[in-house]
Amino acid sequence: MPADWRTVRVFISSTFRDMHAERDWLVKRVFPALRERLEKHRVHLIDIDLRWGITEEQASNDQVLDLCLDQIDECRPFFLGLLGERYGWVPDELPGEESRHGWTQAHTGKSVTELEIRWGVLLRPEMRDHALFCFRDRSFEIDVPEAKRSDVLAEDDASAEKLARLKDEIRAADLPIPVVEDYPCRYAGLRINWGLARFDLDEADQQSLERVAADGLVDNAEYAQLDDRLKEIVHQYGVVSLDGLEEFGRRVLESLWNAISAELDLAAAPSEEAPDELTEERGYHERFMESRLRVYVGRQALLDELTEFAEGDGEQPCLVTGPSGSGKSAAMAKFADVYAARRSDATVISHFIGASPASTSLRQTLHRLCSELKAACGFEDDVPPDTNSLITTFRQFVTQVPEDRRAILIVDALNQLDESENAHQLYWLPWQFPPHVKLIASCIDDPDREEAVLKAFEHRQKRHVPVRPLTNEERFAIVEQVPSLSAKSLDPRQVQQLLENPATTNPLYLLVALEELRGFGSFEQLGRRIELFPRDGDTVTALFTQVIERLEDEFENETVQSVLSLLACARRGLSDRELLDLIEGTGVAVDDSTSDLFPIVRQLRPYLQHRGELWDFFHRNLYKAVHARYLEDDEAQSAVHARLAEYFQGQDYFMEPLEEQRARARRLPPTPRPANIRKVDELPFQVLQVAKLSGRDNPESPHWDAVADLFTDLHFLEAKAEAQPYARPEDAATTGDAE
């Protein structure tokens, strides 16, 4: 059994007004990279950034300091302090001597930031090994427009003296992790919050601002061109933006990684020993379940209905349906987890189609179900390799499960099976099961698309369990749970405002909205941001469009478009290496990437599947949003498919040099050459898509000639044969279907 997941929290302490750039760099670049490292060791990372973690009620009741200090306790022992030139807000009142933070009475006149640092580190010797402080170089200040310079300068002379003494005390503490002194940065301009500016400004003001800040940033040259009216707008919606923070980010990443590794004893790298095929496949599905269950509330009626079905003696399968984002996969994962814990005598086999590279294949799905049944029940028969024999074996194994053992087979997202071999017709699925063997399957049910799986189920007896919209109680529970993961709270008025939107009855919509609010930097403007969430029509797709627009504001627009378009047009997704080759060039090492590629992927990670090395969309609505924004016409789609075809065409068909291939051919018994599975899987699909989009019905089109040339190329056919059973010629026109 794999080890349980663990959780670490890191508290970020700084003044707010002058540290937007660093906090954004941490939240959007450093912490996603650190989270990725830690997840390989089954460790969750939660970064506590209180930029809007203080509700209006807490502020009005003087609870700010208590909240901050309590969060430090929750995060112990990890603490990150960032200091520029501002000292920070000094509260008028401090907790009374009788309170749990009565010690603050000895520190009147101190800022909340200094009190955080004292409570978090200076007064607690046990924190010494896990605290990192970063002091910013101030040479950039001269470039900040005078009207905005107060955002980064000390409030007054007294505050500057207090901050200087605090920095000297931190240096004198001689902490094991050295202070990052004078980390470099450059003034980039004033970053415009377009989401709010577009909401407030009339069309004329928007057009004027876009002419000088189309990229969302007003640099000094552009600032000089603004009239007084536009300068006021820029001051209102712009915050000081810094670049050149790579060194800062690198030092924070490595220092935190080392501190967490030491505390949790992660020195040993994850085992490089290759697991057997079944164990490796099972790991994909376990990780997928864990990702679906991290935020799960309610749906008790649905779980009760599935439990009743599992405990009954009916012989028909159960079908769970619901629209995209309704929470089908999460409900299936929760049921599997709860039922397995409740019935230790039962065999629960969970297969989430799309969770692994092989899981979308009918052959591989049947192979895993048969292998799991064989392992659980001790069957002696071998599991065959081909689909037809697997169908027979699956039916045989199902009927051979001992009557004193209850077996629950959970197969999520049947619609994501590859359409090759007519998998969606369900001819491979038994019509009936023994009373002690239960099949629970799920399928998407969207009004804008007819699903072949649903049509096939129309002619079968089944237990139908629709996933219903969230209740008010469930929505409130999600709002309470999700922000608490990062210590950010919405006040009752903001919660009411959010949940008045009828679209929040969809779990995916609500979770995406909360994720967008989590990364939003201004508590004061939070209510106005909530107003911008879509309410009508295809709201989940519209919300993903807002996510894409935010990424375009925060990163290089062209890179955002390339990443999303390439993922949308790839047959099974793309790896980090492939994305880097396509966007930055084949000579660039992953660790040397200088573009926004990997920060963009990490921002999208909650909405992506990571199957082996391949990134792909998890939600159909994200694909629809990308398609509508970048790929609406055939010419745009064809261009991306042609780009992918050219990339894979340039690769070798085999993963070893010609001389090694010849040496292999001389050895007996003969062994298959290591085919480039990615090439033989993606290339025919990409070439066909180009022909369909550009060649259309013209058989004399050179694009159709390219298809014919590929499918009659001896090297391609040889590689296809060697790649069996991973890539089949008849699969070239099919692709998986995101939820």
Please compute Rg for the chain using Cα positions: 28
* The one-letter amino acid at 29: R
Going from the C-alpha of 248 to that of each of 152, 178, 181, the distances in angstroms are: 18, 13, 10
Report helix, strand or coil for 243: strand
The partner residues of 136 in beta bridges, in order of sequence, read 183
Which pLDDT score, from 0 to 100, does residue 60 have? 42
DSSP tag of 406: -
**C-beta neighbour count of 647 within 10 angstroms:** 19
The two three-digit tokens of residue 282, written as one number? 């099972």
Which pLDDT score, from 0 to 100, does residue 449 have? 74
Let me know: does 297 contact 474? Beta carbons within 8 Å: yes
Q: Give the residue carrying structure tokens 């101190």.
A: 110
pLDDT band with cut points at 50, 70 and 90 for residue 217: confident
Which pLDDT score, from 0 to 100, does residue 376 have? 93
Higher pLDDT, 527 or 559: 559
Which of 73-82, 120-129, 192-201, 723-732 has the least mean pLDDT?
A: 723-732
**Average pLDDT of 144-149?**
92
The length of the chain is 739
Which pLDDT score, from 0 to 100, does residue 154 have? 94
Let me know: does 76 contact 118? Beta carbons within 8 Å: no
The DSSP string of 366-433 is HHHHHHHHHHHHT--SPPPSSHHHHHHHHHHHHHHS-TTS-EEEEEE-GGGS-SGGGGGG-TTS-S--
The two three-digit tokens of residue 166, written as one number? 């605090």
The two three-digit tokens of residue 394, written as one number? 């699956």
Angle ∠(97,103,104) on CA atoms, nearest 5? 95
DSSP tag of 651: S
pLDDT at 51 over 60: no
pLDDT band with cut points at 50, 70 and 90 for residue 592: low
| Cβ neighbours of residue 582 closer than 8 Å, sequence gap 6 or more | 562, 566, 574, 643, 644, 647
**C-beta neighbour count of 658 within 10 angstroms:** 9
The partner residues of 191 in beta bridges, in order of sequence, read 217, 239
Which pLDDT score, from 0 to 100, does residue 101 have? 75
pLDDT band with cut points at 50, 70 and 90 for residue 355: confident
Q: Determine the Cα–Cα distance for residues 357 and 736; give it in Å rounded to an integer.
A: 10
Which of 50-59, 98-107, 611-620, 693-702 has the least mean pLDDT?
A: 50-59
pLDDT band with cut points at 50, 70 and 90 for residue 273: low
pLDDT at 369 over 80: yes
Q: Give the residue carrying structure tokens 């002419």.
A: 211
Which of 22-31, 511-520, 525-534, 665-674 has the least mean pLDDT?
A: 665-674
Q: Determine the Cα–Cα distance for residues 92 and 340; give it in Å rounded to an integer.
A: 54
Report the largest interatomic distance among the alpha carbons of the chain, rounded to a whole angstrom: 88
Q: Which of 181, 465, 488, 489 is nearest to 332 (CA)?
A: 465
pLDDT band with cut points at 50, 70 and 90 for residue 184: very high
pLDDT band with cut points at 50, 70 and 90 for residue 213: confident
**C-beta neighbour count of 532 within 10 angstroms:** 13
Which pLDDT score, from 0 to 100, does residue 229 have? 84
Residues 252-280: b if buried by 16+ CB within 10 A, e if exposed = bbebbeebbbeeeebeeeeeeeeeeeeee
Q: Determine the Cα–Cα distance for residues 628 and 616; give it in Å rounded to an integer.
A: 17
The two three-digit tokens of residue 269, written as one number? 């790298």
Which pLDDT score, from 0 to 100, does residue 611 have? 77
pLDDT at 127 over 90: no
Higher pLDDT, 450 or 11: 11
- H helix count then E strand count, the chain: 31, 16
pLDDT band with cut points at 50, 70 and 90 for residue 325: confident
**C-beta neighbour count of 128 within 10 angstroms:** 15
Q: Give the residue carrying structure tokens 């042609």.
A: 642
pLDDT band with cut points at 50, 70 and 90 for residue 271: low
Which pLDDT score, from 0 to 100, does residue 391 have? 95
pLDDT at 548 over 60: yes
Which pLDDT score, from 0 to 100, does residue 58 have? 43
The partner residues of 183 in beta bridges, in order of sequence, read 136
Distance of CA 451 to the CA centre of its chain: 27
pLDDT at 270 over 70: no
Higher pLDDT, 197 or 121: 121
Q: Determine the Cα–Cα distance for residues 421 and 466; give it in Å rounded to an integer.
A: 28
The two three-digit tokens of residue 382, written as one number? 């071998």
Which pLDDT score, from 0 to 100, does residue 464 have? 95
**Segment 371-419, tens digit of pLDDT:** 999 999 999 999 998 999 999 999 999 999 999 989 999 999 999 888 8
Higher pLDDT, 96 or 292: 292
Which pLDDT score, from 0 to 100, does residue 661 have? 67
pLDDT at 726 over 50: no
Higher pLDDT, 258 or 657: 258
pLDDT at 1 over 50: no
pLDDT band with cut points at 50, 70 and 90 for residue 572: confident
Give me the chain's average pLDDT, please. Answer: 86
Which pLDDT score, from 0 to 100, does residue 57 have? 42
Q: Give the residue carrying structure tokens 């997941």.
A: 5
| Range 111-114, long-range pairs (CB < 8 A, 24+ positions) | 111/15, 111/87, 111/159, 111/162, 112/64, 112/65, 112/68, 112/88, 113/13, 113/14, 113/15, 113/83, 113/87, 113/88, 113/89, 114/87, 114/88, 114/162, 114/166
Sign of the CA dihedral with 708 first, then 709, 712, and 715 last: negative
End-to-end CA distance of the chain: 29
**Average pLDDT of 195-208?**
77
pLDDT band with cut points at 50, 70 and 90 for residue 59: very low
The 3 state secondary structure assigned to 444-500 is: ECCCCCCCHHHHHHCCCCCEEEECCCCCHHHHHHHHHHHHHCCCCCCCHHHHHHHHC
pLDDT at 468 over 90: yes
Residues 335-367: b if buried by 16+ CB within 10 A, e if exposed = bbbebeeeeeebbbbbbbbbbbbbbbbbbbbbb
Q: Which of 457, 467, 470 is nearest to 501 (CA)?
A: 470
**Average pLDDT of 177-204?**
85
**Segment 34-44, tens digit of pLDDT:** 988 888 888 88
